[in-house]
Amino acid sequence: MIKIYAIFIERLVIMKIIKRENYLRQVKPHFGKNVIKVLTGQRRVGKSYLLKQIMEIFEASDQKINIIYIDKEKLEFDAIRDYRDLYAYIIEKTDKNCPNIVMIDEVQEIESFEKALRDLNENPAYDIFCTGSNANLLSGELSTFLAGRYVQIQVHSLSYGEFLVFHHLESAVDSLGKYIKYGGMPYLMHLNLEEDEIVFDYLKNIYNSIILKDVVARHNIRNVNFLDRLVLFLADNTGSVLSVKNISDFLKSQKVRISVNTVMNYLDFLIHAFFVHKVSRYDIAGKKIFEINEKYYFEDLGLRHTIIGFRQNDMGKILENLIYTQLKFKGYDVYVGKQRDMEINFVAKKQDKTIYIQAVYLLKDKKTIDREFGNLLKLKDNFRKIVVSTDEFAQGNVKGVEHLHIMTFLKEFGY
């Protein structure tokens, strides 16, 4: 028999849980191991549901298990404010006659939680799982404090393959259009994607929740107007090479006078909330990472479109963002490639594998074709090289450089 000392919020009980096997495969090998399992990611990407799926796996086992669940977004757990409260609550709910599975949702809301978890993790009676919506959750001193005692798994909004499963769709141009327009927030499966107003109202609420809870409130931001302008600027310049200084200079031209340090801090806050991702430039020849002039992509395209609208003439930017998120879903470290005066949109690395990718909406003329394939052909190594576009007859290769339609690419990297 399994004891559960806290009930999941109602939506977790009444809504069908669709397994996200990509993440379950990553976390299962750590079941029963002496490490804290930490699921991180933007709000509403499905971390709580993954905890539910993990719970179901334990429930399906024959052994007697005691599950202790804490949801810091529920009022009933408001009294758990610091590590002392957390430790006392878990000790109170512990069953000494069986393994105890500890699950804490939004653990960053508990002050100095790591002190309690480190102590509990030393006891083989506990198997600990947490979620968090802030990238600082396991950084700096905290990372040192828990060094060797945790494994981190980043959860993203739905990949294209997951989107098809959640919405009972087949891969087709229309399905891809829906994914590009509305993004991959899991709850969208309960909304009618033909009703733009309802969908974007929901997405706007998520956007406000992320900005207000994970940025404004967490970092005591007073200049919310500037934050909104910064987010708008990032949406309008998705995939452009940016520096903190040129962002500051642009905003000054719009009569918004903000210091470079403030711009840097606000960017960090957005990154820590997993709302946007900073992609560094990588010197292909020198194999080093540049410290300035990065690109920024959004965790979810639907949220980007709530800021700036869905614009057909942004398809080049949207395609880049889509490719970036699919590569991250598959666990690649992603960089912008730089070799002398030549740019490669993406250098994707995982273990000993490297892939070079050029993204172009349409190969509309010979000049574009020569540029996109030519840049890759100048790379004199044996790593895989791909041009991704939306051209109807995208296929084959040019001197070993593959040409893939975006749906073919997503089939490989989005499932």
Low-confidence winner among 144-148, 263-267, 336-340 (lowest mean pLDDT): 144-148
Distance in angstroms (rounded) separating the CA atoms of residues 39 and 155: 6
Residue 358 clears pLDDT 70, i.e. is over it: yes
CB-based contacts of 52, cutoff 8 Å, min separation 6 = 8, 12, 17
Tokens standing for 19?
Answer: 């397994």
Instruction: State pLDDT tens for residues 290-319.
Output: 888 999 999 999 999 999 999 999 999 999
Alpha helices in 32-131 (DSSP H): 47-60, 83-93, 113-121
Q: Residue 103 carries which side chain, given as an amino acid letter?
A: M
* Residue in 303, 354, 353, 351 with CA at minimum distance from that of residue 325: 303
How many beta carbons lie within 10 A of that of residue 286, not counting itself? 10
Instruction: State pLDDT tens for residues 39-77.
Output: 999 999 999 999 999 999 999 987 899 999 999 999 999
Q: What is the pTM of this model?
A: 0.93
Instruction: State pLDDT tens for residues 333-348.
Output: 999 999 888 999 999 9
Residue 1 clears pLDDT 80, i.e. is over it: no
Residue 12 clears pLDDT 60, i.e. is over it: no
Distance in angstroms (rounded) separating the CA atoms of residues 186 and 190: 9
Residue 223: strand, helix, or coil? coil
Alpha helices in 221-285 (DSSP H): 224-236, 244-253, 260-272
pLDDT for 6 equals 39
Strand order in the sheet with 333-339: 288-289, 281-283, 333-339, 342-350, 353-359, 384-389, 401-405, 397-398
What mean pLDDT value characterizes the chain? 92
DSSP state for residue 222 in the 8-state scheme = -
Q: What's the pLDDT band for 137 if we cut at 50, 70, 90?
A: confident
Classify 362 in phi/psi space as left (phi over 0), alpha (psi -120 to 50) or beta. Answer: beta
Residue 393 clears pLDDT 70, i.e. is over it: yes
**Domains assigned to the chain:** 2-154 (3.40.50.300), 160-413 (no CATH)
Residue predicted with more confidence, 149 or 385: 385
Q: What's the pLDDT band for 10 if we cut at 50, 70, 90?
A: very low
Residue 150 clears pLDDT 80, i.e. is over it: yes
Residue 371 clears pLDDT 80, i.e. is over it: yes
Chain-centroid distance, C-alpha 387 = 24
Distance in angstroms (rounded) separating the CA atoms of residues 355 and 349: 7
Q: Residue 398 carries which side chain, given as an amino acid letter?
A: V
Helical (H) or strand (E) element with 59: helix 47-60
Residue predicted with more confidence, 15 or 250: 250
Backbone angles phi, psi at 279, to 5 degrees: -115, 115
pLDDT for 16 equals 62
Residue 364 clears pLDDT 70, i.e. is over it: yes
* Residue in 284, 295, 293, 289 with CA at minimum distance from that of residue 355: 284
Length of the chain: 415
Low-confidence winner among 17-21, 81-85, 133-137, 162-166 (lowest mean pLDDT): 133-137
Return the biggest CA–CA distance within the chain: 72
pLDDT for 349 equals 97
Residue 7 clears pLDDT 50, i.e. is over it: no
pLDDT for 316 equals 96
Low-confidence winner among 94-98, 160-164, 187-191, 395-399 (lowest mean pLDDT): 395-399
